[in-house]
Structure 1
């Protein structure tokens, strides 16, 4: 392996520099951070996050985090702002301006424009004595002794601190808003985390067929029903009702075949498992998965609040949704 020692040495040093800077910044949080959070929390508008160069990319990430955790936010590139896009800033918005030096021409102009508009300005800046900091109502200091690259040039430590400070703002606001797991699911309906919080058995079993036989159904017909419905199981219903008398799975069939010598007179009730494990229709899908795992099975009959048979949920349903 080529230059392994050098690679690991540089990588370790990078992480140590950034970790040390994060600890220093964490220890310095105080009234300025609290004031910034309260300014955003009490605002009737949005957070307009802005920057230039690498800080513009950081600002976009912070906007995404804010929006996904209940704080409305938009991104505004600092260069675009001073060439007409400052009109995106509405009267109730709070402007979050991110800069390492606080002295970039576009940043200084944007800070001045923000003051003229009368919007609250939060500066996330590496130099608390900079022009940007002096023009801001609230200053979030992201202290950078050195960048993490060997030449102390590439934005590494500075952008790490900015990203982390953005996360700290978002999580503090999340806590103030009482943002719940259910709220998170509402903002992330397509992700696996969101699905764990909102997807229910009723959303899945309805797409499956509903295999069913009766206690006196002959073995041959039972096999045909299980094969046709492709779920590896069938419900056995009390005649004239939708109540479960039991279920038959592929495993039940194999066990029956291992012990039976005369199959001609076998009927469903001779094979079925009485009082099977069931899952309620309104159960969260992730809880159904836990039941399947706990009992080492691949399907569960679904019942309503009155115990009426509705169908099956299968492990494959949960696999398709990315819950496994």
Structure 2
């Protein structure tokens, strides 16, 4: 069953099969599979290397399985992942009554996930409710950050440092000073500097701030392309709604109305934290490690 169709491929719900060159079809365990558009077949004289059935890596969130076709057949690249039965953050939050406990749990989990990525020198660059999936296998809902199609691994020099009797590998990258220039992401979650095409990992912090703000106050908009109701905050200009990042780029002195709703359940601590996460100047935002500490204190 097809779950979603994107520009780079489609996501389907399936059950597990043995690993073969042909796409999975029958006798399969329930999973979620993303198939990318066909790739040209590459020949390889080393048959044993060609027929290796999997080439897996893990960032703590995602495992990739590479299935190679026979040389005379088209080659497809499949990503077989856990099926998250809670849907994405939009579906989960908007289908339930407001719950402060769920809000606190998701805030903490999302912050922890971004901190993990940044500690491993990965900038997601497309954080949005669509890319935050919910698994309910363990009972309590568990956040899974997904879709690393636009993510950037910030490679740097490594060196060995002594800590007591141990040699520790230290990565020399400061991810918050690793500048990127490709303006990418989803409009309503993009930081002002992303619109300009000159940004760092702090753009992920801004996107997370938009998501948390929208989740707590249940602020939504209708996506023009999919016609779906999505979580996301915005600035209203006349009859139009404008992404917060774009509005701040046009007017850096604009004061965000946090919270938006008169009868909001947002605490003063969360309000101050969101104001910091959504600061126009990325240097005024907390980094992921600082954010994780502050979030632990609030939740």
**Common fold by TM > 0.5:** no
Classify the TM-score, shorter chain: under 0.3
Q: Which has the larger radius of gyration?
A: 1
Instruction: State the TM-score, normalizing by the size of structure 1.
Output: 0.19
Instruction: State the TM-score, normalizing by the size of structure 2.
Output: 0.20
